[in-house]
Structure 1
Amino acid sequence: MTTIKSTHINTSSRGVNIVNARVIVTCPGRNFVTLKIETADGLTGVGDATLNGRELAVAAYLTEHVVPMLIGRDATRIEDIWQFLYKGAYWRRGPVTMTAIAAVDTALWDIKGKIAGLPVYQLLGGRSREGVTVYGHANAPDVESVLSEIASYVDLGYRAVRVQTGIPGLESTYGVGGDKMFYEPADAALPTENIWSTEHYLTHVPKMFAEVRAEFGPTLRLLHDVHHRLTPLEAARLGRSLEPYALTWMEDPVPAELQEGFRLIRQHTTTPIAVGEVFNSIWDCQELITSQLIDYIRTTVVHAGGITHLRRIFDLAALYHVRSGSHGATDLSPVCMAAALHVDIAIPNFGLQEYMRHTPETDEVFPHGYWFEGGYLHPSEEPGLGVDIDEEKAARYPYRPASLPVNRLQDGTMHSW
C-alpha cells in the first residue's frame, strides 16, 4: 500500500505576500490608470485600469476598496484573489468593478511570470502562432484621402485595415479625427455633441467600400465600425449592401442590450459580425456566442476582468466557431496591449488584434518589450508581461478631464454615439 503524504507549502516564506499596491494616474496625451503591486521579495507587477472617460471612478474603487484588501495576500493565488474580488463585492460585474479586478489580475500574472522566469504566454500554454495579426485605423474626411491612408498601412506591412471616413452632410462622425495616427475621441472636459443621420450613413458606406475594393483588390482584410448606431433591420440592410466587398467584420452594428437583435441581423446578411468591446463579463456574451450570432468577440483584458476571465470567454467562444478580435484603441495603455498579446499568441481561436499606436510620450512612460514587424505584433520574451511604468515620467503628466462625445439626431433626439 502506498501512502501519499500531504505537505503544506508556505508560500509566504518565499516573499510572495503583497506588501504594497498603488494606483498611478497619468496623462501623456490621454489619461491612463495603472495599478502597481509589490511583493515582500521586491517583485512588482502592473495592470491597466483605464476606463475611458471614467478613469477616476476606477482609481477610487481601487484605492478605497481593493488595495486595502490586497495587503498581506499571497500574490501567486491568482484565481482565489479573482474570485474574492468578484464574489466578495456582492454588486457584481459592471465596467468599474471589472476594470478594477482586471488591473489586479493582470498585475498578478505579471508577477507570476517573473517568479517562473517565463513570459506570461508560456504560462498560458505557449505559442499557437508566430505572431499576432493586427489591424490599423485608416480614417479621413473623404474617400479619396482615405485611400491614401489605407495605402500607407499596406506599405507598413499591415494585412488588415479598419476604414472610416467622414459622411457627406455631417460635420463629424465617430472614427475620424484631426490626428490620423493618434486618433483620440475623448476630446473635451465635457462631452461634445455630434449630429447623426442614419440615412446619410447607409447611403455613403457601401459606396466607400466599392472604391476601396476597386483600389486594393480582394485580399486585403477590411473592417468597419458601425459603433452601435443602427437598429437590427438597418444593420441587416448595411450588412447585405457590404457583402460584395467581403468585409472581415462589421463591428458593433447595434447596441447589444437587446441581443435578440443580432438574430435578426443574422437572418438577412452573411457579413461577419464583431461585438464586445464594452462587455465586461462572460455573461454579457454567453448567448451571442452559444447561439453563434457573432463571428468575433472583442472583449479586452482591461474591461473584462483581466487575463483570467478573458481566457474563459475565449475558451467558450472556441467551442462555437467564434474568434477573438480584441479592442486595442489608445484608451488601453501599453500595459493592456502587452497583456493582450500574451493571450493572443496562446489561444487557438485568435482572429485579429486591434492596434492603435501610442504617442512617443506614452511609450516613454510605459517602456515595453513588444514590437511590430511585417503586420504582426510580437509579445515580449521577458519574464512576466514585459512592460512597466516609469513613475517619475508619469508624474510629469497630471490627470486632465476628458469625456467621450455624444450623438444627437438632426431633430435633437439623443442617439447612440
Structure 2
Amino acid sequence: MTAIAAAEVIVTSPGRNFVTLKVTTADGVVGLGDATLNGRELAVAVYLADHVIPLLIGRDAMNTEDTWQYLYRGAYWRRGPVTMAAIAAVDMALWDIKARYAELPLYQLLGGQSRKGALAYGHASGADTEQLFDSIREHLDLGYKAIRVQTGIPGLDSVYGVAASKAGDGERYDYEPARRSASGRALPVEEAWDTRAYLRHVPTVFEAVRNEFGAELPLLHDGHHRMTPREAAHLGKSLEPYDLFWLEDCTPGEDQDALRYVRSQTTTPLAIGEVFNTVYDFQTLITERLIDYVRAAVTHAGGITHLKKIADFASIYGIKTGFHGPTDVSPVGQAAHLHLDLALHNFGIQEYMRHSDETLEVFRTSLTFEDGLLHPGEQIGLGVTIDADEARKHSYEPAYLPVNRLLDGTAHDW
C-alpha cells in the first residue's frame, strides 16, 4: 500500500490567483493538482482543506478510480464547479504520484503517445482591424498554426477576448481583467453589450482576416454564451463562407436542446463545454452529435480520470477534444491537458496561452512549444514542480471576472 501521509493547499497569486493541492505519500513522493476556480478560488481551497484532505490521509495513493468515486459519490451533493475542482485536484495529484512511482511521464500510463505533439491555438485580438492584424502576425511569428480571433465592436468600450496587455515575448494574454476599488474590495468590471452590433460586425472582421491571411489558416471564434439560439444560428450561418475551425460557446450550453436548432441551421463546427463539470452536461450534445468539440477543462471537470471518460465517450460519436486552456488553468492543469492530448486518439486542438514569467517562477514546467505543437516533456509524472518559497511571495488578491449588461442595464452573459 502506498499511503497518503499528508496534503496541503497552496494559494498563490503570481499575477493571478492559483489554488494547488500538494499530496505527499509516506515514501515522500509528491503529486500536484490544480484546483483553481477563477473568481471563486477560496471556495475550493476551503472545501479541500476542511472537507477533502481529512478523508485522504491513510488512503492508497494508487487507487485513483476508487478515490474519485469515493469523493464524488461520498459527498452525496454531487457535481458543481467547487466540488468537481476539488476532486480534480486530488485526481491530478494521484496520477502525478502514480507516474512518479512508475518513473514515467504521465502520458505513458494513459495509452502512450498517439501523436508527436498537440496542435495549439493562440489568442489574437484587437480593438480594430489594424490591431487585430498586428496580433495575428505576432502569434504567427511565435509559431502558432491556428488562431482564435476576437475583435472590438464599434460603439462598445470593452469586449470579452480583446487583450488589455501583452506577455513579455509579445503574446497577448491579459483578456480577463479584474478590478479592485479604492477601499480594497474586489469589484467586477461591468461591461456594456450590444448583440445586434456584434452580429453585424463579426462577419466583416473574418472577411478581412481571410483576405489578409488566406484560406489555409485555421481560425476560431468564441461567442462566450452571449447569444440566443436564433442569434447563434444567424452568426454560424454568416460565418460559413470563412470556414472556421470552430465557433465556441455560441449559446449557453446547459440548455442542450437549444443546440438542436443551432445545428439545424448552420454547418459551422461547434465547440462547447468549458463551464461543464461532468459527462452528464455533455450527454445529449454528444449522443445527438450536436457539437464537434468538447471544451471541458481538467481542473473543472473532475480531473484526468473523468476528463478521459468524457473524451472516450465523445470518441464513439466522432467528436473531438478541444480542452479549455487559458491562464486561469495553472501550469499543473495545463500539463494534465497535454498528457491527455498526447494520448487520446480523438484529440482535436488545445487552447494555449503562455503563463507570465512571474507564474513560471512559481510553477516549473517541462512543456515545450515548437512549430505550433505542444508537448508535456519527458520528465516523470506531470512534469511540473512548485517552488513553495516563491509561491509564498505572492499573496492571494480578491479578483472577479467582469459582468455584462445590455445597453438598457439588463444583466447578460459575459
| Shorter-normalised TM range | over 0.9
2:182 corresponds in structure 1 to: none
The number of equivalent residue pairs is 403
Q: 2:305, 2:316 → 1: CA distance?
A: 18
Q: 2:289, 2:165 → 1: CA distance?
A: 37
Deviation at 1:64, TM superposition (A): 0.3
Q: Say which SS state the counterpart of residue 330 (structure 1) adopts.
A: coil
Q: Say which SS state the counterpart of residue 134 (structure 1) adopts.
A: strand
Q: 2:175, 2:389 → 1: CA distance?
A: 24
The answer on whether the counterparts of 2:160 and 2:175 sit within 8 Å (CA) in structure 1 is: no
Question: Aligned match of 1:388 in 354, 373, 385?
Answer: 385
Q: How does 1:116-265 map to 2 (within 5 A)?
A: 116-180=102-166, 181-188=172-179, 189-265=186-262
Q: 1:185, 1:329 → 2: CA distance?
A: 10
Q: Say which SS state the counterpart of residue 61 (structure 2) adopts.
A: coil
Deviation at 1:151, TM superposition (A): 1.3
Q: 2:192, 2:134 → 1: CA distance?
A: 27
Q: 1:90, 1:202 → 2: CA distance?
A: 43
Q: 1:138, 1:156 → 2: CA distance?
A: 12
Which blocks of at least 5 consecutive residues in structure 1 are unaligned? 1-10
Q: 2:319, 2:187 → 1: CA distance?
A: 37
Q: Say which SS state the counterpart of residue 264 (structure 1) adopts.
A: helix
Q: 1:324, 1:182 → 2: CA distance?
A: 22
What amino acid maps onto 2:373 in structure 1?
Y
What amino acid maps onto 1:182 in structure 2?
Y
Question: Aligned match of 1:302 in 291, 299, 302?
Answer: 299
Deviation at 1:249, TM superposition (A): 0.4
What amino acid maps onto 1:32 in structure 2?
F
Cα-Cα RMSD:
0.7
Q: Deviations over 1:27-61 (max 9, x none)?
A: 00000000000000000000000000000000000
Which blocks of at least 5 consecutive residues in structure 2 are unaligned? 167-171, 180-185
The answer on whether the counterparts of 2:8 and 2:23 sit within 8 Å (CA) in structure 1 is: yes
Q: Deviations over 1:128-171 (max 9, x none)?
A: 00001000000111112101111121122211000111100111
What amino acid maps onto 2:38 in structure 1?
N
Q: 2:176, 2:109 → 1: CA distance?
A: 35
What amino acid maps onto 2:137 in structure 1?
A
Question: Aligned match of 1:46 in 32, 41, 44?
Answer: 32
2:99 corresponds in structure 1 to: 113
Question: Aligned match of 1:290 in 280, 287, 290?
Answer: 287
Give me the TM-score of the superposition, normalised by structure 2.
Answer: 0.96
- Greater CA deviation, 139-148 or 40-49? 139-148
What amino acid maps onto 2:144 in structure 1?
Y
Deviation at 1:267, TM superposition (A): 0.7
Q: Say which SS state the counterpart of residue 182 (structure 1) adopts.
A: strand
Q: 1:350, 1:215 → 2: CA distance?
A: 29
What amino acid maps onto 1:46 in structure 2?
L
Deviation at 1:182, TM superposition (A): 2.3
Give me the TM-score of the superposition, normalised by structure 1.
Answer: 0.96
The answer on whether the counterparts of 1:136 and 1:153 sit within 8 Å (CA) in structure 2 is: yes
Question: Aligned match of 1:405 in 397, 402, 405?
Answer: 402
Q: 2:243, 2:81 → 1: CA distance?
A: 33
What amino acid maps onto 2:15 in structure 1?
G
Deviation at 1:373, TM superposition (A): 0.7
Q: 2:351, 2:173 → 1: CA distance?
A: 14
- Greater CA deviation, 237-246 or 173-182? 173-182
Is residue 2:56 matched to residue 1:65? no
1:76 corresponds in structure 2 to: 62
Identity over aligned pairs, percent:
61
Q: Deviations over 1:371-409 (max 9, x none)?
A: 111101111211110001110000000000000111110
2:183 corresponds in structure 1 to: none
The answer on whether the counterparts of 2:162 and 2:175 sit within 8 Å (CA) in structure 1 is: no
Q: Say which SS state the counterpart of residue 298 (structure 2) adopts.
A: coil
2:72 corresponds in structure 1 to: 86
Deviation at 1:177, TM superposition (A): 2.7
Q: Say which SS state the counterpart of residue 46 (structure 2) adopts.
A: helix
Deviation at 1:184, TM superposition (A): 4.1
Q: Deviations over 1:178-233 (max 9, x none)?
A: 11422141412211111000011000000000000001111110000000000011
What amino acid maps onto 2:339 in structure 1?
H
Q: 1:138, 1:314 → 2: CA distance?
A: 27
The answer on whether the counterparts of 1:184 and 1:330 sit within 8 Å (CA) in structure 2 is: no
The answer on whether the counterparts of 1:230 and 1:254 sit within 8 Å (CA) in structure 2 is: yes
